[in-house]
Amino acid sequence: MFQINENYLKLPGSYLFSTIGKKVREYSAANPDKELIRLGIGDVTLPLAPAVISALHDAVDEMGNAATFKGYAPDLGYEFLRQAIADNDYKARGANIETDEIFISDGAKSDSGNIGDIFGPDNKVAVCDPVYPVYIDANAMSGRTGDYIESLGKWSKVIYMPCTEATNFAPELPKETPDMIYLCFPNNPTGSTITKDELQKWVDYALKVGAVIIYDAAYEAYISEEDVPHTIYECKGATACAIELRSFSKNAGFTGTRLGFTVVPKELKCNGVSLNSLWARRHGTKFNGAPYIVQKAGAAVYTEEGKKQTKEQVAYYMNNARVIYDGLKSAGYTVSGGVNAPYIWLKTPGMMTSWEFFDYLLDKANVVGTPGSGFGPSGEGYFRLTAFGSYENTVKAMERIKKL
């Protein structure tokens, strides 16, 4: 008789955003006359920028012509895209990342889930609490998290680093020594971030204890403050201890188009073994590359036009973030985030739990958000709203919330 990966049986419930989707579908079915405003999942609403659309059209034409048709993409991704990334995202920020350290993928979610493949099962994982659920669930699937303790909402072998009001929603160095540290800045879900000096402390710590940092910088385009690092490789020594995950979803609206990349520096080694070659081996074996047309679209993001247009999109969402932040504040909520990130983190009113507030908001304001407890136990009593809706809906949602 065959066996299954029993680690899957330890996972509580379904993936957070699937649970929310199901609840919203059920509510809609029972209340077909209600017009819902969705500020739950961080999914973009603006169409792709004209420069991106034009590159897509051109690439589609190339695929229809025998002389320019492309089959399988190179393992690591097309050089034209990796060069644009190396120049714009790294060299321009003083970080010396070479093209063969950049691996093109179909998005940061897949990479953050898959990166665990190159790490041993006994590594001790540290995560922020609250946290983007993929880091934990993917490690649970690989058997790295121990058992789920329902009463605590925690996994027995995971080191949780609480990010609370008291810590300014940033993690503190853990007391127990981890092997793998997941960090995400600007942060999903709290919208908080840390300065370059603070991030340097994490790099120094990882180098000291021999840990690897998996750094998710999917929201870097939303940074508005000067001293916030756009990449972990702005920190000294980071190429010897950090992997960086990046996405085209939030900076250029590729949530449905799918494109991302992971940086694994050649200097990053474990007992002399290069993680870059392990990830190259994994990538080459299990992945056949992001589509050519999508990689061409990604390269268009780095053209002068593409940069200008995607910057305008980010500004549009950040204006929504301001509307939400100010709207909630004026309605008396305790709010944070929304300055360097498209997420606003609010305290639920009264003694409501996160899920109670989810139901309340859905029913009374017909606004969908994300319960903080879905991101971890320290998220209980909090709620996340995203700035990725349309401006009109964002304003309308605030009007409804203010009337509650």
Binding site for ligand MLT (CB under 6 A): 41-43, 109, 132, 188
How far apart are CB 316 and ligand MLT at their closest, in Å? 17
As beta bridge partners, residue 162 has: 129
How far apart are CB 375 and ligand MLT at their closest, in Å? 8
Of 41 and 56, the one with the shorter C-beta distance to ligand MLT is: 41
Residues 6+ apart with CB under 8 A from 309: 49, 50, 51, 52
Of 39 and 194, the one with the shorter C-beta distance to ligand MLT is: 39
Block residue for tokens 């840390």: 194
Structure tokens at 344: 């606003």
Going by their DSSP bridges, the two strands 148-149 and 154-155 should be labelled as antiparallel
How far apart are CB 277 and ligand MLT at their closest, in Å? 28
How far apart are CB 389 and ligand MLT at their closest, in Å? 12
Of 133 and 306, the one with the shorter C-beta distance to ligand MLT is: 133
Of 42 and 327, the one with the shorter C-beta distance to ligand MLT is: 42
Residue 92, classed as helix, strand or coil, is helix
Block residue for tokens 């127990």: 176
Q: What sign does the CA torsion over 321, 323, 329, 333 have?
A: negative
Of 239 and 249, the one with the shorter C-beta distance to ligand MLT is: 249
**SS percent in the chain: helix, strand, coil, step 5:** 45, 15, 40
How far apart are CB 388 and ligand MLT at their closest, in Å? 8
Q: Residue with CB nearest ligand MLT?
A: 42
Buried b / exposed e over 229-246, threshold 16 CB at 10 Å, is bbbbbbbeebbebbbbbb
How far apart are CB 107 and ligand MLT at their closest, in Å? 8
Of 109 and 283, the one with the shorter C-beta distance to ligand MLT is: 109
